[in-house]
Structure 1
Amino acid sequence: MHVPSSIRAAVDRVVPADDRPGGWDGGVAAYLADSPDLGWAEPALARLAERLDALAGERPFADLEPGRQDELLRGLEHDDDFAALRRVVFEGYYAARQDATPAGLELAGFRAVPEGVTPVEPDLVPDVGSRGVRRSYDAIVIGSGPGGGVAAQLLTEAGRSVLVVERAARVPSAALRGDHLRGKRNAVYRPTAGPGAGHPRVAILPEGDRVLDGTDDAWLYGLNADAMGGGTRLWQGMAWRFMPDDFRMRSVYGNPDGASLADWPVSYEDMEPYYSRAEQELGVAGEEGALTARTPRSAGYPMPPFGTEPARELLAGAADRLGWGWGPIPLALNSVPHDGRPACVRCPQCVGHACPVNAKNGSHNTFLPRAAATGNLDVLYDAEVVEVRDGADRAAVTVMADASGQPVELEVDAEVVVVAAGAVETARLLLASGIGNDHMGRHLHDHRFVSMLGNADHVVKPYVGPGHSVATLDHVHAGTIPWGGGVLVDLLSLFPLTWAANPMPGVPRWGAGHKAWMAGPRANAFGVFGMGQEIPMPTSRVTLADVRDRWGRPGAGLRKLVHATSVEVEDGMAARGEEWLLEAGVRDVFRQRGTATASAAGEHSCGTARMGTDPAESATDPFGRPWGSRRVVVCDSSLHPTNGSVNPTLTIVANAFRVAEHLVATWPAAAAGRTA
């Protein structure tokens, strides 16, 4: 990109040089020269250059004194073209990128990998390749996330031949971390965790439909990671059990008008053995105490909790004074060496990024390697099942694979097809295949989220991982927040780019004051994060849209509405979060506001193939079989009738053990099961 001298000068006023480099030498020059993603900014910067030189008068803007340059730029603070410049400067100066370490990272005290740590790569299950796929298997599993991984492990350990079809390519972990512009949770451009171009969805919004591809806005598209291991490749690993009342929400709270609250067809007591197995086989570090008091256990955690840190100390003291219970968050990360892999090195970018030392536990390094060790597993990467056919004697799928850039169509049959592609893609595939009743695709929901921020007297959340550390469950099913409430946790350390683009109130939005804040007081910014129940609605759903993916199949249409009761949950969490922070001595507390209505899949999406005992109220039976089908089983978050008030992955794993265990125990009778 050609950069006029006036823009180069303006870059160094947005981030001025002092004892540290200014914006141009600190990373922006290289970013403008190398980034393939700045085509959107070039016209804005050209217009801004012309305006700056015109405002400068007789002398070019670049030749003016810095004070005069600042004066002219302040006059443009609400201008869209100047906003584009600030964005480009902050991306270039404060965002970690592949093969780039701009000066803003050191200024903010951020180091992606702790000193002395040598990254390692997990030994992913090999790719069988399209030529290695057999014509028939005992089972085909669609998706390699926590549900699909568990199903593959149990089926192969039972002696069944299994083909796992994974949409993502077989990429190393190094390609899935360290880029703060393309990480799945913080993607500004083309998310590294896919799915990439050729996977369109339509967000059905109040202001009109918006077509999104897999390279677009990751928040609106949906935050489910497209990688071997699914979301467990990139998650922070919060591994909670749902509470007993989470399994009977309708019985406890009733069903408000316009909602579709339902009880699970299983109880906490039914699920408890599977929770214990999930914690052991996945590998969870935790502590029995206040956070486990209402979830009786048959086994302890396999690893001790992570050690304390300043945020935990601060909020624990405040919780004690408020009379609230608290504890260290259970994490599916190695707090000590475990399962032949090292302990977490406490890097500051666990959430949304692959682990540098393979200490993050997920389907990719637990369930699927165990399945492969049986000799009964094939995994086909960079491929998609585009149709499932449910027959009386056999099921079959059509698989589209990418072989050296050329599409290859494969027909594969099996006794059973296990669909574990996530709440959006599972529903899309089954709807496109003509499988399922009117509930298939409906009841799409996630969680409600709230962030409360303020300023602490000292640094309580430095850039030391793994992230969230301390929590209270005292406002879950406790009456202090309606409709089941939510968990409150400490807010993790936000990346430098996030803080630069969204400074605290009263902080200059650019210039010397902004840089000084980034280098100092920013580290005292601290908050509490709430995650609570989202009440499902039948009108929030996945449908088939009038767009086609790279294989010519219909993309998903996403309509996501928010029930008034869910807003009550948000407001309740905000009030309790503010109370916690104020008791901790945090000043200037405010609620970070976003859009009131979520309109995409979110990151904890569930419910689109919800299980139940009656086809009039559910999409599948209690063991994941779509009503009316014979040889198809769903085994992922789609089955969850409700989503609790904590991260759902441990429940996905536990329920997958239950569903897959039943499939193994009833094989092959289950394959010819009921057709109600």
Structure 2
Amino acid sequence: MSAAHDRDRLRALPAVKAAANRIIPRDDWPSAWDGGLEAYLIHTPSSDRDLVWAWPSLIHLAGELDRAARAVGGSCFADVTVAQKDELLKRISESPDTSEAFDALRRVTFEGYYAACGGREPAGLAMVGYREVPDHVRESDPERLSDVSLDAVQSHYDAIVVGSGPGGGVAAAVLASEGKRVLVVERARNLSNAQLRGDHLHGKRNAVYWPVVGPGAGHPRSVRTDAGELTLDGGDDASLYGLNAYAVGGGSRIWQGMAWRFFPEDFRMRSTYGNPEGASLVDWPVTYEDMEPYYSRAEWELGVAGDEGTLTMRTARSARYPMPAMGSDASREFLASAADRLGWGWGPIPLAINSVPHDGRGACVRCAHCVGISCPVNAKNGSNNTFLPRAISTGLCDLLTDAEAVEIRDGDHVAGVVIMANTRGVPVEVRVTADVVIVSAGAIETPRLLLASGIGNEHMGRHLHDHRISSIVGTAPFPVKTYSGPGHSIATLDHVHSATVPWGGGVIADISNTLPLTFAEHPPVGIPEWGIAHKRWMRGDRARRFGVVAIGQEIPVPTSRVTLAGVTDRWGRPGAALRKDVHEASRLVEVGLGRQGEIWLRAAGTTDLEPAGSRPITSAAGEHSAGTARMGTSSLNSATDPVGRVWGTKRVVVCDSSLTPTNGSVNPTLTIVANAFRVAEALVAEWPP
């Protein structure tokens, strides 16, 4: 039977409606069915695809509910009393035979009532005070970047850049500004900003179903998890497939904007801490002093809002920030007073978001949710609205979207790329040559593409690492994290390279705004998981739910790696096989940061602390993945030389997070941008390659 048939059959089953209306009963606000569930189940176009898993369970549950109602003297579940409905639902939710079906109903009920999707604004959003964009804001959707068709691609360029994220965008901008003819190949579609927001079910961070910024079907991966080996496709669960975003501009199109510099110690981790047994910790082939001018350039050319003070005193600076820090908010004031009592340093987080009008674009309007979606007023700064437009404006850069580089070719006199695309449903192959090929596809796809092309030594794909994350939440004495953006506001760096947390520690910041759906699905201990008490908590004490998140060092190990899988993609090329092993030293970082986060929250008066509830991320591919083509001084310990050239090649350069030998104690994007400037400048300086 078709999904549409199951959907229509479900509509005719009153037990489902009656049960959902007890999961979210009517009070001053509508019940589940009228408040959004009917529209979600029946009228949302994506439901045919998204809810295929749920309809059989819901139909089965309806039958079980009606049978249970007849056993207590009713004609059907919809006709028994409210008290009987609640008792029967409690019984069914606890029975091993029916609990799974009940959980399916609870899940889709919350999705229908508390999640925006397909243009819907269900009642639950207004009930909890969630307004995605402030009422006074007029959204502005900039024109999409000008791209070229496949048949307009030239046969030869000075440089081909594979990937349009922070690394690739910088490389394209630097080379084009120096008069080089550049082709940027991006496999993502050229979507508008409006297409990348307003969806709480298909975003990168909150991908309950297929992510809008995923590569889509036809890009399978083999992922080793605790449950064994999984084969996943690009349209599957992003938390399993990998959290890297695929968009014009890469992850910087929808990131949260934290723009930190690495610390001097981050560039010499092995010298500072030694190498624990089983790890592959190394020093960078450059120092902080080498990188500092590029950090200043990155802050100005990307556009970072920040203040000099406690958070910058340990990293020498040659230039101020181009914009003042984002204004304060309740969470900053709440944690700042606690930090002062503890004697901790703190400050506003540097953000690549316009705190004031900048670069011809407006300032942040502090909408409810920032991370994982595009900005409604184009105030969030990424490759898409800085480096790529500058490259294209030279007239020397062509942007090719919805096309994929499937093979890299090196040569003594010329390099090249094999590109595949669907043209009116027909696969088309184009071969383009260049003086140099710059691979900037990210820490998973860069080594996969190079290995599939027969390029790279034994270190290519190895040393895959990310960050350790520790999130703690509790109940604040009053509402702290209101639905006002842009997200993170305050941080302490006191536990970065300090005695409090081993192996370099990490940054601790206030937790970002959480979507209503996440709150609904993960209430704290002691709050019922459904019913009127749950609904009252959602519109009441939920607002006091508050916490911190810590991001810390992950020690690389050689067995964590990207190799080639046995499964092939839509072009017949091997997908990535991912393996992630976590060193005990990394776990110590996570535990140590969690303890310090608890100390901070308790000092602020937060109670009932517990780890933040979330859907588990079990993939090897995190959004901060790094190190898989790491730089070094020798082919014996690295995949690329100090300026990104792949060892053993003449004309192939890597320019993205794959290069970073260690991932620092803070978010890495500003470092990726700074290092990309360094790599691109070195390439220009030695031209011709």
> Would the TM-score normalized by the shorter structure come out above 0.5?
yes
Partners of 1:595 and 1:86 in 2: how far apart? 16
Q: What is the CA-CA distance between 1:597 and the residue it aligns to?
A: 8.6
Task: State which of 90, 107, 132 in structure 2 corresponds to 1:74.
Answer: 90
**Secondary structure, counterpart of 1:77 in structure 2:** helix
Q: State yes or no: 1:45 paired with 2:87.
A: no
Equivalent residue letter for 1:74:
K
Residue matched to 2:327? 307
Q: What is the CA-CA distance between 1:593 and the residue it aligns to?
A: 6.6
Task: State which of 533, 551, 564 in structure 2 corresponds to 1:544.
Answer: 564
- Asked whether the 8 Å contact 2:239–2:616 carries over to 1, the reply is no
Structure 2 unaligned regions, length at least 5 = 1-6
Equivalences for residues 349-364 of structure 1 within 5 A: 349-364=369-384
Partners of 1:598 and 1:512 in 2: how far apart? 33
RMSD (CA atoms): 1.1
Deviations 1:486-507 (A, max 9, x none): 1000011210000000011111
Partners of 2:273 and 2:233 in 1: how far apart? 38
Partners of 1:519 and 1:83 in 2: how far apart? 22
- Asked whether the 8 Å contact 1:124–1:369 carries over to 2, the reply is no
Q: State yes or no: 1:19 paired with 2:28.
A: yes
**Secondary structure, counterpart of 1:451 in structure 2:** strand
Q: What is the CA-CA distance between 1:124 and the residue it aligns to?
A: 3.0
Structure 1 residues 594 and 343, CA gap change in structure 2 (3 angstroms): closer
Q: What is the CA-CA distance between 1:207 and the residue it aligns to?
A: 3.1
Q: What is the CA-CA distance between 1:406 and the residue it aligns to?
A: 2.0
Task: State which of 506, 509, 515 in structure 2 corresponds to 1:495.
Answer: 515
- Asked whether the 8 Å contact 2:225–2:618 carries over to 1, the reply is no
Q: State yes or no: 1:428 paired with 2:428.
A: no
Residue matched to 2:3? none
Q: State yes or no: 1:440 paired with 2:460.
A: yes
Partners of 1:599 and 1:106 in 2: how far apart? 34
Equivalent residue letter for 2:651:
R
Task: State which of 323, 342, 348 in structure 1 corresponds to 2:343.
Answer: 323
- Asked whether the 8 Å contact 1:311–1:490 carries over to 2, the reply is yes
**Secondary structure, counterpart of 1:76 in structure 2:** helix
Partners of 1:272 and 1:220 in 2: how far apart? 36
Task: State which of 51, 54, 78 in structure 1 corresponds to 2:67.
Answer: 54
**Secondary structure, counterpart of 1:209 in structure 2:** strand
Equivalences for residues 607-622 of structure 1 within 5 A: 607-622=627-642
Q: What is the CA-CA distance between 1:96 and the residue it aligns to?
A: 1.0
Partners of 2:161 and 2:450 in 1: how far apart? 14
Task: State which of 6, 9, 15 in structure 1 corresponds to 2:15.
Answer: 6
- Asked whether the 8 Å contact 2:239–2:617 carries over to 1, the reply is no
**Secondary structure, counterpart of 1:489 in structure 2:** strand
**Secondary structure, counterpart of 1:291 in structure 2:** coil
Partners of 1:594 and 1:539 in 2: how far apart? 27
Partners of 2:662 and 2:480 in 1: how far apart? 34
**Secondary structure, counterpart of 2:549 in structure 1:** strand
Equivalent residue letter for 1:418:
I
Q: What is the CA-CA distance between 1:598 and the residue it aligns to?
A: 4.4
**Secondary structure, counterpart of 1:38 in structure 2:** helix
Structure 1 residues 413 and 422, CA gap change in structure 2 (3 angstroms): same
Q: What is the CA-CA distance between 1:592 and the residue it aligns to?
A: 3.2
Equivalent residue letter for 2:40:
Y
Task: State which of 201, 210, 214 in structure 1 corresponds to 2:234.
Answer: 214
Partners of 1:55 and 1:596 in 2: how far apart? 34
Q: What is the CA-CA distance between 1:600 and the residue it aligns to?
A: 1.9
Q: State yes or no: 1:530 paired with 2:539.
A: no
Deviations 1:136-195 (A, max 9, x none): 000000000000000000000110000000010111011111100000110011101121
Q: State yes or no: 1:563 paired with 2:583.
A: yes
**Secondary structure, counterpart of 1:75 in structure 2:** helix
- Asked whether the 8 Å contact 2:214–2:238 carries over to 1, the reply is no
Equivalent residue letter for 1:219:
S
Partners of 1:24 and 1:222 in 2: how far apart? 34
Partners of 2:267 and 2:615 in 1: how far apart? 29
- Asked whether the 8 Å contact 2:472–2:594 carries over to 1, the reply is yes
Q: State yes or no: 1:266 paired with 2:286.
A: yes
Partners of 1:296 and 1:387 in 2: how far apart? 42
Equivalent residue letter for 1:48:
L
Deviations 1:345-377 (A, max 9, x none): 111111000000100000011001111111101
Partners of 2:615 and 2:535 in 1: how far apart? 28
Say which is worse superposed, 50-59 or 224-233, in terms of deviation.
Answer: 50-59
Partners of 2:248 and 2:87 in 1: how far apart? 51
Equivalences for residues 203-352 of structure 1 within 5 A: 203-352=223-372
- Asked whether the 8 Å contact 1:561–1:597 carries over to 2, the reply is no
Equivalent residue letter for 1:276:
S
Q: What is the CA-CA distance between 1:98 and the residue it aligns to?
A: 2.6
**Secondary structure, counterpart of 1:488 in structure 2:** strand
**Secondary structure, counterpart of 1:149 in structure 2:** helix
Residue matched to 2:531? 511
Residue matched to 2:429? 409
**Secondary structure, counterpart of 2:187 in structure 1:** coil
Partners of 1:592 and 1:370 in 2: how far apart? 41
Q: What is the CA-CA distance between 1:233 and the residue it aligns to?
A: 0.4
Equivalent residue letter for 1:49:
A
Deviations 1:312-357 (A, max 9, x none): 0010000011010000000000000000000011111110000001
Equivalences for residues 94-109 of structure 1 within 5 A: 94-109=114-129
Say which is worse superposed, 253-262 or 71-80, in terms of deviation.
Answer: 71-80
Partners of 1:409 and 1:462 in 2: how far apart? 51
Residue matched to 1:624? 644
Partners of 2:195 and 2:144 in 1: how far apart? 14
Structure 1 residues 337 and 275, CA gap change in structure 2 (3 angstroms): same
Q: State yes or no: 1:476 paired with 2:506.
A: no
Residue matched to 2:620? 600
- Asked whether the 8 Å contact 2:219–2:234 carries over to 1, the reply is yes
Partners of 2:318 and 2:425 in 1: how far apart? 50
Residue matched to 2:41? 32
- Asked whether the 8 Å contact 2:463–2:556 carries over to 1, the reply is yes
Which 4+ residue blocks in structure 1 deviate beyond 4 angstroms?
593-598
Partners of 2:203 and 2:415 in 1: how far apart? 37
Partners of 1:455 and 1:658 in 2: how far apart? 45
Say which is worse superposed, 277-286 or 60-69, in terms of deviation.
Answer: 60-69
Residue matched to 1:134? 154
Partners of 1:658 and 1:575 in 2: how far apart? 37
Q: What is the CA-CA distance between 1:599 and the residue it aligns to?
A: 3.5
Partners of 2:137 and 2:274 in 1: how far apart? 52
Partners of 2:111 and 2:613 in 1: how far apart? 22
Name the count of aligned residue pairs.
Answer: 669
**Secondary structure, counterpart of 1:39 in structure 2:** helix
**Secondary structure, counterpart of 2:457 in structure 1:** coil
Residue matched to 1:193? 213
- Asked whether the 8 Å contact 1:124–1:364 carries over to 2, the reply is no
Partners of 1:446 and 1:580 in 2: how far apart? 25
**Secondary structure, counterpart of 1:378 in structure 2:** strand
Structure 1 residues 364 and 5, CA gap change in structure 2 (3 angstroms): same
Partners of 2:379 and 2:424 in 1: how far apart? 32
Q: What is the CA-CA distance between 1:481 and the residue it aligns to?
A: 0.3
Partners of 2:597 and 2:225 in 1: how far apart? 30
Residue matched to 1:674? none
Deviations 1:49-72 (A, max 9, x none): 111111112321100111110011
Deviations 1:628-659 (A, max 9, x none): 01000000000000001111000000000000
Structure 1 residues 112 and 594, CA gap change in structure 2 (3 angstroms): closer
Partners of 1:63 and 1:117 in 2: how far apart? 46
Say which is worse superposed, 186-195 or 147-156, in terms of deviation.
Answer: 186-195
